[in-house]
Structure 1
Amino acid sequence: MKQSYSFCTDDRLCINSWGNEITEVTGMPSSAVLGMKYYEVLPRILADDRDALSVALADKTPMNLKGYSFNCLHDRVKADVRIDPVRVSSGKVDELRIEIRPYSACSMARKLQNSQRLIDIGKIASTLAHGVRNPLNAIKGSVVYLREKYSNEQTLIEFTRIMEEEITRLDNFISKFLSTSISVAGLSESDVNALLKKIEIYTSLQTHANDISADYEYGDIPLVAIDSFQLEQAVLNVINNAIEAMGAGGHLSVKTMTQKVSDNDFVLIEISDTGPGMADNGLGDISPETRGRGFGLFITREILQYYGGFLEIKSKKGAGTTVRLYLRVSR
């Protein structure tokens, strides 16, 4: 079924009703267009070189325009247009209802809609970052207390050291995020194996609590130029997804190696699980609109692409999932 966009005008062709759908596709809210001539907002609709709405007003009869061609930013879109006189009093039409059913969406409009969604995500992320800082400081204080109180517990000391370090890094990341943007990061030569060994330690509590076995195989790999905090988040998104997807008795496998792709050298992080798997390799779930695990994979993909890498997913229903993170090797 075709998507339809509708609005109404009075007998002066001024917009007096503006639907939610047409607001979304044009990016113009009703408050901005009410009272304006429709052709000041949209391309004028013509029938035999005459304004089609004026014709419908004069004839007091519905009008159908099949395959009408609209200009849409940098291309043209065909649509069916129906114009209905919806209120007639004293032999005069007081209102017209116009419904537009495009055959396909304008490609630029789709890009603008996706951009708006990302802008909205950015606004939410900024609000979330502000909200995280206060409880983060409280957690840091608690960690310091535990470290000092149980200073003889070596295992606990190791975990609290990692926790305090990660809290500090997260606080610094939030500060940078609020003052600039997520893409303005601290680029440095990062040791992927060292980062994964740290992740192995503090995800061991999760895997143990869920009765999941895990093994990490560290290959001989070079350094990569990437912000270590963002890389850590990219990897954790995938590992946490894997842990959440598996039940008791599941197995997590993480490997690092080098691989050449199209004559370019990459460090490959391969993360496999024995969970239920995903349909269509899970690629359809990677979107800024998706919540939960799909959104985490979207963030991971965006981080990799920003640094010249890419994400690959191999999954099958009932046969687990393998996610490969490709990081371009520093030259």
Structure 2
Amino acid sequence: MPEPKNEIRPLFIPLKYRFILMITLMLILLLGALILVLNVLQSRTIKTRIKSQGLFIAQNLAMTSRDDLVTYNYIALEKAANQAAEHPDVIHVVIHDKEGKIAGFSNRPDLQNRTLTDEISLLAVSAQTPQTHEGISNSATGPTMTIIFPVFLKDKKTRWGTIRVQLTLAPMNQQIRQTQWTVLGLGFIALIGGILFANLAAGRITAPLRQLMDITKEASQGNLKQDINIPAGDEVGVLASNFSIMVKELLTHKTALEEQLEEIHQLQQYSEKILDTMGDGLLSVTREKSVKQLNPAARKILNISQEITPRGLDISQVLSHTPELHDAMVKILDDPGLNRQQEITILQNKEPRVILMGFGVLDAQNNRSVEVIFNLHDITELKQLESRMRQSQRLADIGIIAAGLAHEIRNPLSAIKTFAGLLPQKVNKPGFLDKFQRTVPREINRLNGLVEELLELARTPNYNFTMINAARLLNDIVDLIEVDLDASDIVCVRNFGDNLGEIRADGDQLAKVFHNLIRNAAQVMPQGGTLTLEALRDNDKITIAVKDTGPGMPRETLSTIFTPFFTTKHKGTGLGLAITQKVVSEHGGDIKATSVQDQGSCFTVTLPADAC
């Protein structure tokens, strides 16, 4: 069970408060927009009403003052201006005559018959149509609206004066402010209500999310066995349901993974025990030539001290005292397609040890080898046992050889004995000594050859192994006896593979093997025929076949063809094929004979890859 993690607290505003803040801002914006719209609409409405009222006052005053303007009745005009100014929204009323002078100014008789030069007065005396102007009065009345209404005679062409009515906008502003305060009050109440509603709504929305968040926190800490029950009929409920399904699937996968992890742990322990107890050495090396792992048996075979930790070291450091193994492993790492097994002789404590080395390649998903595992098996004792077995076999064959030897030497000894017995009696007989000198040395040489072949068959071999080109060796042998083959009307066919390469062998001994096989094949074809020499290489072995088109051999002969002193020839000791088999065996190979009556025979020599 994993240790519980500390709760990760959010560094942002929670969703509930963001929802309330969003609703509050929306209400404030809505209230501000409402106040602005009401302010504009109310101001426009009141101004339109005041303007209409001012125009009405100015128009009535113009109708009643037209005759007084024509007669320059300033007293009547003054009185009319004062009466019009009695309206509560009117600040003052000014009547200009035709020349632009003040004909009447409400409550300002001192300005009568004077010409005003302020901007609004100049606009008034020059106006040809009714006009409206807003501005700030010099008095304390605040913002104002001035209505300018020109007065024309009945012909509507001659302007005879101007009526100017100045109205106050202060009541309008006061009414607008009252409306704003009312809207603000109502808006504040609505804002409080909206915040309370938003708080309630946010709580209903975020409460299931909070519960789901607590559940996910527990799940993140490893508690997947939870009863997720969130009664929400919306997207949150769907989310909780899906999360519940996901948690159950995670729990199932977690249980399965824990079981698999336990199995892997057991397999790992099992593999480690096998590696520790197995007799073969295992050495794992990456393609970069660094040691990844080795077992105790490999330490023993490679004579690596327990104080040294080879993991991560280059194999040149680990195998510095066994250069033969190092060179072979480097070749395999560079080209993993080489032969799978090799016999390598190393020196350990100044004593030769024979190591049978195999390997396997671990591939990645892209089929690129990433690691090579070498298997090292010390076969020194096995090799010694094989040598003793071969020696024992030779001793066992001595009985067979002795029987054959007795038969083979009886005739030469009988001839020598006969001539030795007749020697005192016929020494002076003409021609006897000549016959004696021909027969006795011949039989002695025959006995000497027999002894030499027996010694070659019985003695412990002492071969000189070197790397030899296989095709060149076979071609040299054929070239040597090709003249004799031609003389016997025998056609020699050579069928060699394109990539025979080199073999590790004693050239002289192998030359004797194939020379003997070719000579035997030629002897069974006295009337001529075809001799075929084939050589093929197949990864871990090289096969050389010698075929003839002679009469063939019966099955009984095939079973004893390699037995010493067995021969089908009128002349011969029967040791040639026995010696041939011995030489091939000492090279780690094998020789087999097949034959079909009246079609010919085939001798096949197979050498293992470690000899190639």
- Normalised by the size of structure 2, how large is the TM-score? 0.25
Structure number with higher relative contact order (C-alpha < 8 Å, ≥ 6 residues apart):
1
- Normalised by the size of structure 1, how large is the TM-score? 0.45
Bigger share in helix: 2
Bigger share in strand: 1
